[in-house]
Structure 1
Amino acid sequence: MFVDVAKIQITAGDGGDGAVAFHREKYVAAGGPDGGDGGRGGNIIFKADDNLSTLADFRYKRKYKAAKGENGRGARCNGKKAEDLVIRVPRGTLIKDANTGRIIADISDDEPVIVAKGGRGGWGNTHFATPTRQTPRFAKPGLPGESMEVSLELKLLADVGLVGYPNVGKSTLVSVVSEAKPVIANYHFTTITPVLGVVRMGEGSSFVMADIPGLIEGAGEGVGLGHQFLRHVERCRMLVHIVDVSGSEGRDPKEDFRIINEELKKFNPELAERPMIVAGNKCDLTTDEAVEDFRRFIEDQGYEFFPIMAAIAYQTEPLLKRIQEMLSKLPPISHYEPEPAPVIEEDELGKQEVKVTVQDGIFFVEGEWLLTLIRSINFDDSESVQYFQRMLIKTGVIDALKEAGIAEGDPVDIYEIEFDYIE
């Protein structure tokens, strides 16, 4: 079964905990703190794998979690960073936030993409030593790794997409012009999975042709194989519309052409603007007058028309040469740009739950929502820092610090973001 949509839960590794340790050596009195930092948790990385053609593996395993970073140790030994978890997917897979639909990554090239970052390791007690606090007996735990539910959507990468009603000869054309061997039979929906074929046009010249399973009226709303395969047309640089000009199944070729174009437009209006040429197949089953009448109908709408007999490869060469010529002038296969993570708006957050603890004079602030806020802040940008300050006031963090007894100049730590409190 061809699977091109899946939903999985991914969780990056937590950071390792910092260590509380003190230097102990013969003849060395009061050696001081020497606890090491925890290691960073493993990232979740997605990488394209050309040996995969479907998302079927994700039907059986839906939860992926990277390893936790190693805890710090004494003698200032930092914990080891955890290994990243690499998830291999077919080339052309879109990764989206399952809750919002935001595009996180497009796995179309060889570059691996970090989708969920591992948590930072916690600081050992060496970081908290000061002239007035020479024996800190605490360290920081590691930060949690990012966790989210993502949807995977495979959109095949092909230069040319063949569209048309079932049983009009799309698979036959692919089989005679490339090395692909799709199932061919005289009944509807013989092709139930997209088939890619490489068409070679001489040394150093080729293009990829996709046989998209047959569409019918209502495909734009999901009728038949509908949405399941229309998404694969979106990547194609151009379309070749195959029409049975003989009307061998009792349908009107002109009506077939109109209906399929309407379904493409309903699914994605941009497809109506995609460069397209029309191939009239099964010309041997009708008269020359009928073929010429259909040619005039197509050319009146601004499309080029090529009569062919795919089963015997008759007149397929002119069609392929025209496809090659058009592709040489078209932009490369579309690549979806990642969409930025949404910024928390000031009016969306009211008072939030905050936990304040005091250790050796440091005010530690905790709250899961703060992790999301911190990830959206650029601390090298003054306006972003001002926004962070406003959010601390609005969400009740400053009030919680006051209730805990904070005074002017006391240090504050919010998930390793440190600053001195100023009224």
Structure 2
Amino acid sequence: MFVDKAKIFVKGGKGGDGCVSFRREKYVPAGGPDGGDGGKGGSIIFEVDEGLRTLMDFRYKKKYIAENGENGRGKKQFGKDGKDLILKVPPGTIVRDEKTNLIIADLTTHGQREIIAKGGKGGKGNTHFTTSTRQAPNFAESGNLPEERWVILELKLLADVGLIGFPNVGKSTILATVTSAKPKIANYHFTTIKPNLGVVEIDKKSFVLADIPGLIEGAHEGVGLGLEFLRHVERTKLLVHVVDISGMEGRDPLDDFDKINNELKQYTEKLSKKPQVVVANKMDLISSEEVFKSFESEMNKRGYEVFPVSAATGKGLKELLRYIIKRLEEIEEEPLVEEEETYKYYTVENNKEDDIIVRKENDYYILEGKRIEKLFYSTNFEDMDSLRYFQNFLIKKGIVDKLKELGIEDGDTVKIFDFEFEFYH
């Protein structure tokens, strides 16, 4: 199992502001309010696309912001809603809230959609604020602020194909040649000490290829990197068994093939029966064509397809990849039994950002929070009706009571952002 991770910032669009407007018609000298509502801000939506295999796209762009809603207009015209921003992710992607580490969404099936950052609701126009005593409200509601957060994307990715073989047979070179992966490559054993992963694309089809640490005798007993290696191999659909056909290191490719398969069998019978494709690498260094023909003949007798390749020159790799694509389409999907994981999910209860914070700092009584910010920007402090609406909101929401609990007295200063006013009640 390989975990692909990305950290990104997502923000919905702000809701459009409601409009303050009055009818101005030729034969209506004292027209009533006709301000329209603001449009809803767009949301950030994640959608599962089974054609995607990695989170590579999110490595390059880190911030995603949806479109704002339009402001309302006169003649009761509503503002246009902002467009949702849809981000495509591979199946198996988990979205975590970076601050709490709780899961917001578990995206598994093709076409599944989840809202990760909601757009702000549009503000109400002044038509909504008429009462029997307030016939011409000179204020409107500002649009709601959107949700915004840093999220961690996690993709538990299974390799479709695993490269197996003794150390230094050329597996890392093959991976580097056929994908954009950049494994560490050098001429000594155990160059690869952890699985390297790459996506192979050919003929508009793709699969995930893993170069897994080299295997040695005794791996099933935990020798070298054995058990870790075997756990990774167990999760692949198809094995590509790479041998060094050149014998440059004094190895016998047939003997190597048997030893590796013996280790697979010792670990689990099921693993030894996994489909295998045999790759005779380093054909450019072979001493005689007969060496390959003899090896191929033996493998064919055992029912294996053999592909002569040179990872160094790229010769034979396209034919190999096309065959792998064909085999993968023939292999039935097996349900993967994983260790059970307990997930903690992000809920409304976890989000306390809507609360209005009331606190005292030196001689100031300070009001903070998104709801108070919206109220503040909706208030026309030059208009008595708007000011009265502002005061009634503070009373209804218990803000005035909280201020009294903190010891506020008439004449003390209340601060909202950079705005200060004296408290009288």
Please classify the TM superposition score into its range, dividing by the shorter chain length.
0.5 to 0.7
Q: Find the structure with the greater CA-based Rg.
A: 2
Take 1:51 and 1:273, find their aligned partners in 2: how far apart are those partners?
Answer: 23
Q: SS of the counterpart of 1:359?
A: helix
Which residue of the other structure, out of 282, 294, 300, is the alignment partner of 2:243? 282
Take 2:67 and 2:329, find their aligned partners in 1: how far apart are those partners?
Answer: 51
How many Å apart are 1:4 and its aligned residue? 5.4
- The question of 1:26 aligning with 2:29 is answered no
5 Å-filtered alignment, 1:204-353, equals: 209-215=207-213, 243=215, 252-255=216-219, 258=222, 259-260=224-225, 262-263=227-228, 274=235, 281-282=242-243, 285-286=251-252, 295-303=261-269, 304-305=271-272, 308-311=278-281, 314=296, 315=299, 318=304, 327-328=331-332, 330-331=334-335, 340-344=345-349, 352-353=357-358
Greater shift in the superposed pair: 137-146 or 88-97: 88-97
Q: Residue in 2 aligned with 1:195? A: 198
Take 1:57 and 1:297, find their aligned partners in 2: how far apart are those partners?
Answer: 39
Q: 1:280 to 1:31 in 2, by over 3 A?
A: closer
2:334 corresponds to which letter in structure 1? L
Q: Residue in 1 aligned with 2:128? A: 127
Superposed CA offset, 1:91-127 (max 9, x none): 7655432223334344874556532111011001111
The TM-score normalised by the length of structure 1 is: 0.56
Q: Residue in 2 aligned with 1:74? A: 74
- Amino-acid identity (%): 34
Contact 2:170 2:244 in 1 (8 A): no
Take 2:181 and 2:59, find their aligned partners in 1: how far apart are those partners?
Answer: 25
Take 2:18 and 2:66, find their aligned partners in 1: how far apart are those partners?
Answer: 19
Q: 1:254 to 1:79 in 2, by over 3 A?
A: same
Take 1:33 and 1:180, find their aligned partners in 2: how far apart are those partners?
Answer: 64
Superposed CA offset, 1:214-245 (max 9, x none): 44xxxxxxxxxxxxxxxxxxxxxxxxxx74xx
Q: Residue in 2 aligned with 1:233? A: none
Take 2:196 and 2:259, find their aligned partners in 1: how far apart are those partners?
Answer: 33
Take 2:63 and 2:4, find their aligned partners in 1: how far apart are those partners?
Answer: 18
Q: Residue in 2 aligned with 1:399? A: 401
2:130 corresponds to which letter in structure 1? A
Take 1:7 and 1:181, find their aligned partners in 2: how far apart are those partners?
Answer: 21
1:41 corresponds to which letter in structure 2? G
The TM-score normalised by the length of structure 2 is: 0.56
How many Å apart are 1:129 and its aligned residue? 2.0
CA RMSD of aligned residues (A): 5.5
Take 1:159 and 1:307, find their aligned partners in 2: how far apart are those partners?
Answer: 13
Q: 1:75 to 1:325 in 2, by over 3 A?
A: closer
Q: SS of the counterpart of 2:77?
A: coil
Take 1:124 and 1:213, find their aligned partners in 2: how far apart are those partners?
Answer: 61
Superposed CA offset, 1:190-232 (max 9, x none): 99963334799xxxxxx965322444xxxxxxxxxxxxxxxxx
How many Å apart are 1:21 and its aligned residue? 1.6
How many Å apart are 1:68 and its aligned residue? 2.3
Contact 1:165 1:260 in 2 (8 A): no
Unaligned segments of structure 2, at least 5 residues: 246-250, 282-291, 306-323, 359-366, 377-386, 406-425
Q: Residue in 2 aligned with 1:55? A: 56
Q: Residue in 1 aligned with 2:101? A: 101
Q: SS of the counterpart of 1:7?
A: strand
5 Å-filtered alignment, 1:126-145, equals: 126-145=127-146
Q: 1:333 to 1:133 in 2, by over 3 A?
A: farther
How many Å apart are 1:352 and its aligned residue? 3.7
2:34 corresponds to which letter in structure 1? D
Q: Residue in 2 aligned with 1:159? A: 160
Take 2:181 and 2:335, find their aligned partners in 1: how far apart are those partners?
Answer: 28
Contact 2:97 2:346 in 1 (8 A): no
Take 1:346 and 1:79, find their aligned partners in 2: how far apart are those partners?
Answer: 28
Q: Residue in 2 aligned with 1:36? A: 36
Take 1:14 and 1:110, find their aligned partners in 2: how far apart are those partners?
Answer: 26
Q: 1:168 to 1:299 in 2, by over 3 A?
A: same
